[in-house]
Amino acid sequence: MAILETRHIIKQYAQHRALDDVSLSVPTGQIFGLLGPNGAGKTSLIRIINQITGPDSGEVLFDGKPLGPEHIRHIGYLPEERGLYKKMKVGEQLLYLAQLKGLNERQAMDKLKIWFEKFDIKTWWSKNVEDLSKGMQQKIQFVATVLHQPALLILDEPFSGFDPINANLIRDEILELRQQGTTIIFSTHRMETVEELCDHIALIHQSHKVLDGSKRAIKEQFKTHTYRVEYQGNMGELPAAFATTAVGVTDDGFDRMDINIPPDAAVNDLIRLLLDRVSIRSFGENIPSMNDIFIKAVGKAND
Amino acid sequence: MSIILTIIKREYLVRVRKKSFVVMTLLGPLLMTAFYGLIGWAAIGSISQKNVAVIDQNGQFTGKFKPDEETKYTYLTTAPTQAKTHFVEDGYDALVVIPKAVIEQPKTVQIYAEKSVGGSLKNNIERAVSKQIEVIKLSRSGITQQIIEDAKVNVDAETISLSDQGEKKTSTVMTSIIGGLCAFLIYISVLLYGTQVMRGVLEEKTSRIIEVIISSVKPFQLMMGKIVGVGLVGLTQFMLWIMLTTSLIWGGSAIFGAKMARDAATARMSTTMSAEKAKAIAKASEDPGMMTEFSAALKTLNLTLIITCFLFYFLGGYLLYSSLYGAIGAAVDSETDTQQFMLPVTLPIIACATLAQFIIRDPDGPLAFWMSMIPFTSPIIMMVRIPFGVPAWEIALSMALLVLGFIGTTWLAARIYRVGILMYGKKPTYRELSKWIFYKA
C-alpha cells in the first residue's frame, strides 16, 4: 500500500525543467529516503507534495485519491530552511501553527503539553523565539511539524543544526513515529543517516528519477560480487576468472586482497580455493555503502 | 474561513501588543493636543493691543481713527520733535505724525516706531488716514457725512449650498477643514499601514517561516489575513486616537476657557488697563467664535454621508494600496530593496497630498473630477470634495471604480505574491514581475 504516489510529474520553470516525468510510490509506514545532489529537483517535488506549487502535468495521489486541500492536515513538513516568527512567544506560535493545520485551540493545547513534557521544555512556553538558541529553535520547529499527528511527515535535512545528543533524540522520535505508523519522507545528503534509517530510497538527478526501490534491493542491484579476504601465507596465482584488486597489507600486518568473481560463480568455490592456499583471518562480501551507490548512480547518469 | 480568521487574529494581536503601537497610540493625541494648545495660546497672545500716538497737525483727524481690537489711538498735541523722543517711554508702540498739508500730499504721513512697524499696523494706519482724507475731500465737494454713511452698505456674502432639503448655510472654511482632515487621515493610514503590510510579508520571507505557513494555508489566504489584520489595527488606532484626542481637547478647552474668562474678569477690574482692551478680551472669551461656527458647520454638513464615505474610502484605499505593498514585500528579500518598487506605488498618494490644496479651491473642477474617479487617487481626493457636496452619481461611480480597482490590484498582487514569497536571491526586475503574473499556479 502506498500512502503517496506521484505519476509522471513534470514541473517546468521559465528556462529550466525541475522535474521530468517523475513517478514515485511511497509505501505506508516506511521511511522513504529522497536523495539527490543539490538542485536535482527534490525541493520542487516536496513543494508539489505540500501543495505549495502544482505540477505542470502528472498527478499526485494521497491514499489513492487525488491530492487536495483536505490532505493538508495529514501532512507535516519540516523545510530545510527553518524559520519561526522571531518576535512571537514559543507557546503562542505553536498553537497558531497547529491551528493553521486544522486543530482547534484545545486539541492543540493538549498535544502541546505532551510534547513540552517529553522534551522537558516547559519553561520555554512564554519565551520569545529569538531568545532561544538555534538548537532550541530546531526542537520547537520539530514539535510544530509533528504536533498535528500527520500520517505523512516530510523532513528536509532534519538533523542539520542539532548537536549529537539532540540529533539522537530526534532520531529516536522519528523511529517512534514510524513505529506508530507514520510514513516519513526523508530528504538528506547525509548518507550515513540514510543507511541507518531508510527502508526505501529514490534518487533524483537532473530532474529525472534515476534510482528507486527498497534499500535492500538497491544494495543487491549495486553489489559487485567482490569479496575481501585477509590472510597469511602465499596466495600464488588465482584463476583468470577471479580478478584481484586492492592488494595490500592491513594495519596489523595481514595480507589483504579484494577478489571479484563472475556473477554466475559460487562463493563456496572461491572459499575452497583460498582454504587450500592460505590461512584465512577474515572473509566477507563488499556490500556497497549508500555513499558508493549515490556517487555511482549520479556518475553513471552524468555519462 | 476559520483559517483566515486565525491568521487575522494573529496579525492583529501581534501588532496591538507591540510597545510601539501603545506608544504611538498615546503619543498621537498628545501631539495633536499640543498642536491645538499652541494655536489656542497664539490666539490669546495675539489679542494684545497696539497703542498708537497721533499728532494731528492738520486738525481734521483728531478723534477720527476708530479704535479696534488690534489698535487704539491717543491724540497728542505736543510738538513732533518732542514726541519723537518720548513716545516709547510714554507707553506708545508707534507715533503717527499727520502734517498740515496731508490732504494735498498724502505721502507725507510719517510713522515712527522703536522697532520696525508690523505690516498690519502700517496698513491700518494708512487705511485710516486715506479714509479720512476721502471723507474730507467728499465733504469739500458738498457731500455730507450723512450721505456717506448712507452710501455704505455692508455686504458680507454667505455661501449657501443647495440641496434637496433646501438651502443651508455652510462655512467654506469649515468644509475645507473637514474635507482636508478626512483626506489627511486616509493619506496617513494608507502610507502607515500599507508599509506595515509590506514589512509583515518581508518578515515572513526573511525568517523563512513562509514555507511552513504556505504548506498549511493558501498564499492568498495568508495575504488577505495579513491585510485585514493590519487594517483592523489601523481602525483600532484611529478609534483610540479620536477618543483620546477628543477627551484631551475637551479637557484642554475647559482649562483655556476658564483662563480666558479669568483674564476678562481681571481686565474688567483693573483700572490700569484700557477699557478697549478689557472689552476685547471679554469679547474674545464670550464670543462663541470658532467653536460655534464649527458646530454650526457640522450641523449643516451631511455627517452620515461623510462618515460613511470616510469609512468606505479608508477601507477601499487601504485595501488597494496594502495589497500592492504586500506584493512589494513578497518580491524582494530585504527592506533596502523595497525602495525601487515603493516609488511608483507611493507616487500617486503623494500627488494627492500635494494637489489636495488645489482641489479644495476648486472642488468641482475637471482635475477634482478625474482624480476622484481614478481608484489610485479617489480615496483621498473624493474625501476632500465630499463635504462641499458631490452629486450622488459621481460618488457611486467613484466607489464602483474603487471596488474594481482594489479587486484588480489584489488579484495582481496575489499573483506576484504567490511566486515572490518563494524566490530568494536576485532582486527581480519589472519584466520578471510581469512574468510572475502569468505563471500557472
* Helix (H), strand (E) at residue A270: helix A267-277
B148 CB within 8 Å of a chain A CB: no
Angle at B329 between CA B207 and CA B10, to 5 degrees: 60
Alpha helices by DSSP H, listed for chain A, are: 42-49, 90-100, 105-118, 134-146, 164-179, 191-197, 215-222, 267-277, 290-302
Q: What is the pLDDT of residue A298?
A: 85
- pLDDT, mean of residues A112-121: 91
Buried b (16+ CB within 10 A) or exposed e, B15-37: beeeeebeeebeebbeeebeebb
d(CA B177, CA B360): 9
pLDDT band at B311 (very low <50, low <70, confident <90, very high): confident
pLDDT band at A82 (very low <50, low <70, confident <90, very high): confident
- pLDDT, mean of residues B11-31: 89
pLDDT band at B164 (very low <50, low <70, confident <90, very high): very low
Grid cell digits, residue A18:
525541475
Instruction: Sheet containing A226-232: give its strands across.
Output: A243-249, A255-260, A226-232, A279-285
pLDDT > 60? residue B161: no
Sequence-distant (6+) residues with CB within 8 A of A253 are: none
Sequence-distant (6+) residues with CB within 8 A of B436 are: B415, B416, B419, B420, B428
> If phi over 0 gives left and psi between -120 and 50 gives alpha, with beta otherwise, what is residue A6?
beta
Q: Which of A72, A84, A96 sits opposite B207 (nearest CB)?
A: A84
Q: What is the pLDDT of residue A114?
A: 92
Which of A100, A104, A140, A156 to mutate to probe the B interface, most B CBs <10 Å? A100
Q: Which of B10, B214, B422 sits opposite A96 (nearest CB)?
A: B10
A83 with B211: Cβ contact below 8 A: yes
Given a contact cutoff of 8 angstroms between Cβ atoms, the answer to whether B229 and B12 are in contact is yes
A56-65, A259-268, B290-299, range with the lowest pLDDT: B290-299
pLDDT > 70? residue B300: no
From the CA of B320, how many Å to the nearest CA of chain A?
26
d(CA B365, CA B358): 10
Query: Tell me: the pLDDT tens digits for B194-244?
Result: 999 999 999 999 888 999 999 899 899 999 999 999 999 998 988 888 888
pLDDT band at B83 (very low <50, low <70, confident <90, very high): confident
Chain B hits for A96, Cβ within 8 Å:
6, 10
d(CA A270, CA A278): 12
From the CA of A38, how many Å to the nearest CA of chain B?
16
pLDDT band at A1 (very low <50, low <70, confident <90, very high): confident
Q: What is the pLDDT of residue B403?
A: 94
d(CA A26, CA A194): 15
Amino acid at residue number B290: M
Given a contact cutoff of 8 angstroms between Cβ atoms, the answer to whether A247 and A197 are in contact is no
Bridge partner residues of A204 (DSSP): A209
- pLDDT, mean of residues B71-96: 80
- Cα dihedral sign, A13-A19-A23-A28: negative
Q: Which residue has the higher pLDDT, B39 or B263?
A: B39
pLDDT band at B128 (very low <50, low <70, confident <90, very high): confident
Query: Tell me: the pLDDT tens digits for A20-34?
Result: 999 999 999 999 999
- pLDDT, mean of residues A125-133: 91
d(CA A177, CA A287): 29
Which of B14, B19, B203, B209 to mutate to probe the A interface, most A CBs <10 Å? B209
Phi, psi of B270 (to 5 degrees): -70, 140
A86 with B441: Cβ contact below 8 A: no
Closest CA relative to residue B233, chosen from B410, B32, B10: B10
How many percent of chain B have pLDDT more than 70? Answer: 80
- pLDDT, mean of residues A245-261: 86
B211: nearest CA partner in chain A: A79
- pLDDT, mean of residues A236-250: 82
CATH number of B50-149: 3.40.190.10
pLDDT > 70? residue A132: yes
Q: Which of A14, A47, A83 sits opposite B207 (nearest CB)?
A: A83
Amino acid at residue number B407: I
Query: Tell me: the pLDDT tens digits for B268-285?
Result: 555 454 555 555 555 555
A82 with B213: Cβ contact below 8 A: no
d(CA B365, CA A68): 54
- pLDDT, mean of residues B101-117: 77
Q: In chain B, what are the domain boundaries?
A: 50-149, 182-254+290-437
A98: nearest CA partner in chain B: B216
- pLDDT, mean of residues A257-276: 87
pLDDT > 70? residue B1: no
Grid cell digits, residue B27:
503619543
A260-269, B132-141, B295-304, range with the lowest pLDDT: B295-304
pLDDT band at B337 (very low <50, low <70, confident <90, very high): confident
Q: Which of helix, strand or coil describes residue B1?
A: coil
A100-114, A242-256, B11-25, range with the lowest pLDDT: A242-256
Q: Which of helix, strand or coil describes residue A55?
A: coil
The 3-state secondary structure of B17-86, one letter per residue: CCHHHHHHHHHHHHHHHHHHHHHHHHHHHCCCCEEEEEEECCCCCCCCCCCCCCEEEEEECCCHHHHHHH
Q: What is the pLDDT of residue B436?
A: 82
B221: nearest CA partner in chain A: A100
- pLDDT, mean of residues A253-265: 87
Q: Which of helix, strand or coil describes residue A66?
A: strand
Mean pLDDT of chain A: 89
Query: Tell me: the pLDDT tens digits for B62-75?
Result: 777 777 766 778 88
- Most confidently predicted of A41-50, A233-242, B34-43, B384-393: A41-50
Q: What is the pLDDT of residue B293?
A: 56
pLDDT > 60? residue B170: no
Given a contact cutoff of 8 angstroms between Cβ atoms, the answer to whether A204 and A34 are in contact is yes
Q: What is the pLDDT of residue B127?
A: 80
B215 with A72: Cβ contact below 8 A: yes
pLDDT band at B291 (very low <50, low <70, confident <90, very high): low
Given a contact cutoff of 8 angstroms between Cβ atoms, the answer to whether B316 and B381 are in contact is no
Grid cell digits, residue A46:
516536496
pLDDT > 50? residue B165: no
Instruction: Sheet containing A57-62: give its strands across.
Output: A17-27, A2-12, A57-62, A65-66
Given a contact cutoff of 8 angstroms between Cβ atoms, the answer to whether B83 and B53 are in contact is yes
d(CA B193, CA B11): 12
ipTM of this model? 0.83
Mean pLDDT of chain B: 80
* Helix (H), strand (E) at residue B229: helix B219-269
Q: What is the pLDDT of residue B271?
A: 47
Q: What is the pLDDT of residue A172?
A: 93
Grid cell digits, residue A249:
597489507
pTM over 0.90: no
Query: Tell me: the pLDDT tens digits for A4-59?
Result: 999 999 998 878 888 999 999 999 999 999 998 888 889 889 999 999 888 989 99
Rounded to a whole number of angstroms, the distance between the first and last alpha carbons of chain B is: 21
The 3-state secondary structure of B394-412, one letter per residue: HHHHHHHHHHHHHHHHHHH
Q: What is the pLDDT of residue B290?
A: 52
- Which stretches of B109-234 are assigned E, i.e. beta strand? 110-113, 159-163, 166-170
Q: Which of helix, strand or coil describes residue A129?
A: helix
How many percent of chain A have pLDDT more than 70? Answer: 100
Q: Which residue has the cell 449643516?
A: B300
pLDDT > 60? residue B416: yes
Grid cell digits, residue B282:
471679554
Query: Tell me: the pLDDT tens digits for A209-218?
Result: 988 999 889 9
